[in-house]
Amino acid sequence: MNQVLNTLQPSAIWRHFQTLCNTPRPSYYEAQLRDHLIQWATSLGLETYVDPAGNLLIRKAASKGMEDRETVVLQGHLDMVAQKDADVDHDFTKDPIVTQVVDGWVHATGTTLGADNGIGVAAAMAVLESTDLPHGAIEALFTIEEETSLRGALQLEEGLLKGKILLNLDSEDRGDVYIGCAGGVDINIEKHYKALPVVGNKTAFKIVVSGLRGGHSGLDIHKGRASANVLLIRLLNLLKEECDFGLSGFAGGTLRNAISRDASATINVNSADESKLFAFVTEFERRTQTEFVSTEPKLLVSLIPSEVDSELEADAKEALLNAIYCAPHGVHRMSADLDGVTETSCNLGVINLKNSKEGEKVFDACLLVRSLVGSAIEHLAHVAKSAFSLIHADVNLENGYPGWRPDPNAGLLKHFLDVHKDVMGQEANVKVIHAGLECGIIGAKYAGMEMVSFGPNIRGAHSPTERMEIDSVGDFWRLLVALLASTPKAV
């Protein structure tokens, strides 16, 4: 089994991150890792508890001389995003993550790395295992399903935590400290269609949009990257003006919180329209490559011969493609109060039109709306709901979660800034993140708990380009150790 990380420093944290890479843990499959952590913690004589939702809490007593300090909650999530390159054979439920070191960064090999949030879990494990680090009482909280639904945090057992200070270890920029985050809601859509046989002499083609960078639907939504789903639906809507085609199916994206990198649709065309189709796709590729020349240098749009399949009725095809085209995607509004911060956005994360066992065509989609403002979440979610209500689809707003309102005067923030300057030799950047940190949810359950979020440099999260800077992990560890050693006395 790959053990390349065991040679890196500080070994206390990298050794545990190697364990996480070796243990499959996509969302919904965290049990194997959780069981390993329970066995490991028990061998150290630590108290463990699994709440009804499946979250794991490990408690460690204060080190000698630190018994009078506040209890600190170290918080991260067990699951990782499961994304891979199309040509990579990898089963995230069974296969370990294969890592490599390139120019001072740790990468995976054609898959997501799981640094989000494996490095936070590894750091907490290193603290729990330590015998020489000064710290007050520790509660290490490891949640589940953060990447898909935030269910672990949303269903966290009431009254479980005793600590009044929470250090969230799930941020991705050295030198930054986060004191607020966006809330959000999932929009899940489904509609069933009658499947019609293909009439006449038609040829099938698969249209493929590929080569996109993808990325995190919160952290990268403002960077001008293309969505494969949006480009595919755009292509199909424009193609309607050029030639007649039957729509057999499409598929794009795998996660609501990842900007889609690949998408494809299967269509049926008359032989007389084949030349129009080829010409249109070639021109569409040229125009979109020009449009996204700076952000998507590897964008490709291709045609592949396929098998003729059943198709949608013409009016149903027209209405469905129009509805998806109307769905919001991208930045809706930038914050008027925080320079450079996205306030409200929507990600068209997943779209599918496929055959059912009952012989129907089933359309489903998932969008994720994020915002720092609760009323803006409600507004944009209902914009999306209205678009799909026009085709009488079933639309459900699910897994809503609150944001984390910034408190720039919090005592914990001042303490963090002082320690950061001592350890790093420079001021930390105080930020608000356009992503759904679990702090907002946990904070709503524990009034008065003070929280900050920080971490090492991670780039390309939620995509196979995910990587983590080695030197920044050392800084992250030194900062965490210093924070714990200077935990204020309990009031």
CA dist 180 and 436 (Å) reads 10
Cβ atoms within 10 A of the Cβ of 23, count?
20
Can you tell me the distance from the alpha carbon of 24 to that of 22, in angstroms, rounded to the nearest whole number? 7
How do strand 467-469 and strand 176-181 relate by DSSP bridges? unpaired
CB atoms within 10 A of CB 205: 21
Active-site residue, selected from the candidate residues 30, 70, 79, 311: 79
Identify which of 466, 476, 398 has the alpha carbon closest to the alpha carbon of residue 220: 466
H/E element holding 372? none
Task: Say if CB 265 and CB 231 are below 8 A apart.
Answer: no
Task: Tell me 7's DSSP state.
Answer: G
Report the C-alpha gap between 291 and 239 in whole angstroms. Answer: 18
Q: 423, exposed or middle or buried, with CB in 10 Å at 0-12, 13-18, 19+? A: middle
| 298, amino acid identity | K
| CA 490 to chain CA mean position, Å | 36
* Tokens, residue 117: 């949030």
Is residue 274 annotated as part of the catalytic site, yes or no? no
Catalytic residue among 70, 139, 145, 146: 146
Concerning whether 146 is annotated as a catalytic residue, the answer is yes
From residue 181, how far is each of 92, 440, 445, 455 by CA, in Å?
Answer: 29, 7, 16, 15
CB atoms under 10 Å from CB of 361, counted, come to 25
- Whether 311 and 248 have beta carbons less than 8 Å apart is answered as yes
Torsion angle in degrees (nearest 10) through CA of 103, 106, 108, 111: -100
Burial grade of 448 (CB within 10 A; 0-12, 13-18, 19 or more): exposed
- What does DSSP say about strands 300-306 and 202-210: parallel, antiparallel, or unpaired? antiparallel
Report, as residue numbers or ranges, the catalytic residues.
79, 146
